[in-house]
Amino acid sequence: MSAEQKKEETPKVEEKEVKQPVEGGNDEEGEEAGGEKKMSKAARRRARQRELKAAGLLDNAGNPDNEDESNPYPKVGKTFIRQTWPEPTIPVSKQFPKNGMPKGEECEYVLDNNTYRITSEEKRAMERASQEEIQELREAAEVHRQVRTWAQSWIAPGQSLMQITDRIEGKLETLIGKDGIVRGQAFPTGASINNIAAHDTPNTGDKRLLGEDDVLKIDYGTQINGRIIDCAFTWHQNRRYDPLVEAVKAATNEGIKQAGIDVRLCDIGEAIQEVMESYEVELNGKTYQVKPCRNLSGHSISPYIIHAGKSVPIVKGGDQTKMEEGELFAVETFGSTGRGVVYEDLECSHYMINPENVNKPIRHDKAKHLLGHIQKNFSTLAFCRKWLDRQGQNRHIMGLNQLCDAGIVDRYPPLCDIKGSYTAQYEHTILLRPTQKEVLSRGNDY
Ligand SMILES: [Co+2]
């Protein structure tokens, strides 16, 4: 899920002033996890071919199709097979060997006292120890990339937000190999339009359609064993929004560039703001300087916890806490033509258990039963009302409200800038590995 909202300000709004690098699938052999038996490269490749053939994933000639020029996915490599197109159908776990998931973008640390890391034997040993986590994150990131490559090929005006989110969620489940809370969606698919910056997804019965002049933020997450990839992009068709969208993309990339071990969070926020505010966008003859939404921020992530405690601000004046080795962060920025402040509005769709209050006593039977369902299906991950309906919990609203009123579940309503404004978002998940920073969700789209 994207944005974390700062609690201190929820302004009332009355004014009406506004009228790269890596696509999944590098050809490298995955590093063997420590202690695993060593095979020669050729032997590994033959073993892999046998495995793929047995799984029915190779054509008669023993090759997956490399000929289709319209297929945007990487061509088959020595150790992986190509995703199908126009309908991706192969789970990512079947495309790549377990220890050879495609890497994200790797960046050396730039702070003077951290340049030794890339060659440090000690730091390399630490990375081998966390191979399993890294591979799970890379697989989740590859699912994210493949799903969005596909979604970007068909999202168009006239479609309903319900169709768009349903299709994304269905494809995500196929490519990740949905398995309860072990593999699947990390939070509801954000489909937030125009002045709505984040945390909107259709509830059952929502009839809203995507319009030609809309700016749509698509924000979904993937998770494997609780290792979460949180990554988002902005869809728009009308070219007049290009500068707004470019501003936000550049600001997010600036945040990613600045991030690193021992870097102060406040310094990242300041750099993001400077880049964002260097852009202007003209709409209906009026020029707007792009403003960061100052009460939204990126966040640290821990297993099954989307907001793990640290915030990555997108304006100056943030706190001086530093990023640390091993941490996972969602770096996300929001730009706006409105006030640059969001407030909670509209019908709530996103909900999440508050782990601190989950053991509070509940009197109502319905609420108790619903809580059991939520714990079993979502654990501490965010969920939405549509998902409850489809799991047979279609009379959930009273129980859900009781859980919210008891503080056991929290509501995350849509976060909006003023009416008539437009907001954009870009987001990536980065891992501060001991030797290098890895932009896990980087693709050749953004
Ligand atoms: Co996020």
How far away, in angstroms, is 149 Cα from ligand 1 center?
19
Residue 426 has a pLDDT of 98
Average pLDDT, the chain: 90
Report whether pLDDT(50) > 80.
Answer: no
Residue scoring higher pLDDT (48 or 243): 243
Residue 68 has a pLDDT of 79
Residue 23 has a pLDDT of 42
Q: Which two tokens stand for residue 281?
A: 């966008």
**Per-residue confidence band for 51, with pLDDT thresholds at 50, 70 and 90:** confident
The 10 Å CB-count burial string (b at 16+, else e) for 349-359 is: bbbbbeeeeee
The pLDDT tens digits for 325-380 are: 999 999 999 999 999 999 999 999 999 999 999 999 999 999 999 999 999 999 99
179 is a catalytic site residue: no
Report whether pLDDT(30) > 50.
Answer: no
Residue 79 has a pLDDT of 75
427 is a catalytic site residue: yes
Report whether pLDDT(138) > 80.
Answer: yes
Tell me if the bond preceding 21 is cis, omega within 30° of 0.
no
Residue 6 has a pLDDT of 58
Report whether pLDDT(3) > 60.
Answer: no
Under a CB-based contact definition with an 8 Å cutoff, are residues 95 and 1 in contact? Answer: no
Report whether pLDDT(10) > 70.
Answer: no
Report whether pLDDT(81) > 90.
Answer: no
How far away, in angstroms, is 111 Cα from ligand 1 center?
25
Query: What percent of the chain lies above the pLDDT cut of 70?
Result: 89
Under a CB-based contact definition with an 8 Å cutoff, are residues 306 and 381 in contact? Answer: yes
How far away, in angstroms, is 260 Cα from ligand 1 center?
18
Residue scoring higher pLDDT (218 or 66): 218
Residue 48 has a pLDDT of 74
Of 93-102, 200-209, 432-441, least confident by mean pLDDT is 93-102
246 is a catalytic site residue: no
Report whether pLDDT(154) > 90.
Answer: yes
206 is a catalytic site residue: no
Residue 20 has a pLDDT of 38
DSSP 8-state secondary structure symbol assigned to residue 54:
H
The residue from 4, 23, 169, 230 that is catalytic is: 230
The residue from 236, 299, 350, 428 that is catalytic is: 299
Report whether pLDDT(74) > 90.
Answer: no
144 is a catalytic site residue: no
Task: Over range 305-322, report the average pLDDT.
Answer: 96
Residue scoring higher pLDDT (96 or 48): 96
How far away, in angstroms, is 330 Cα from ligand 1 center?
5
332 is a catalytic site residue: yes
Report whether pLDDT(58) > 70.
Answer: no
How far away, in angstroms, is 174 Cα from ligand 1 center?
23
Task: Over range 27-46, report the average pLDDT.
Answer: 59
DSSP 155-189: --TT-BHHHHHHHHHHHHHHHHT-BTTTEEEEEEE
Burial class (CB in 10 A: 0-12, 13-18, 19+), 142: buried
- The neighbouring-strand residues paired with 29 are none
Cβ-based neighbour number of residue 380 at 10 Å: 17
The 10 Å CB-count burial string (b at 16+, else e) for 89-98 is: ebbbbbbbbe
Report the C-alpha gap between 62 and 428 in whole angstroms: 36
The residue from 169, 214, 332, 417 that is catalytic is: 332
How far away, in angstroms, is 428 Cα from ligand 1 center?
8
